[in-house]
Amino acid sequence: MQKVTTSLDIVNKHQSEIRQAILNAVRSTRSCVLYYRDIYYELERTFTDENLLWEVDNALWEVIDGLKLGGFTIHKIYSDPDESHHDVVVVDFGDKLTEEQLHILREVATLFNTDFYDRYSEADGEFYDAMPLYFYDRTEVYTTLHNLVKMWTGCGETDTDD
């Protein structure tokens, strides 16, 4: 009888490399709010074998929400309907985020998937009619998420010094 390897088994087997890749992504972005692609790029640097990279990436993506690795927990707060690289996760050092705060982050993140989005003009001091935007044009949403997490947890000040 052959043993079935689960996604969690794969993540546990490569836990130290995955943990380091996530820490590197937090350091390089200077944020505890990450697009999944930030983690993927770090995994790509770590796992040079494409088959192993594919296996680890798929396993991590499958179990990432609520995953505890060492001194932090990862929460998925946004799942892009088209591309997992656009998913957004929060790295929570020391479990500082409450369920209510995670709910607020998930609600704010829904703005990534809104068909129309108003823009504010600093020069004119007013909002302009809603306009269709692509996901990657919504820097205000990402910035808001980052600032909320930083305010609530202090992330980025000393958390990634291990």
Residues forming beta bridges with residue 91, ordered by sequence position: 74
Which pLDDT tens digit goes with each residue over 59-92?
Answer: 999 999 999 998 999 999 998 877 777 899 999 9
Low-confidence ranges of the chain (pLDDT < 70): 1-4, 117, 130-137, 157-162
Q: How far is it, in rounded angstroms, from Cα 145 to Cα 35?
A: 11
Q: How far is it, in rounded angstroms, from Cα 50 to Cα 28?
A: 23
Sign of CA dihedral 3, 5, 6, 11: positive
> Would you state the pLDDT for residue 133?
60
Q: Which runs of E-coded beta strand occur in the chain?
A: 33-35, 67-69, 72-78, 88-93, 116-121, 126-132
> Would you state the pLDDT for residue 132?
59
> Would you state the pLDDT for residue 52?
96
pTM, to two decimals:
0.84
Q: How far is it, in rounded angstroms, from Cα 24 to Cα 74?
A: 14
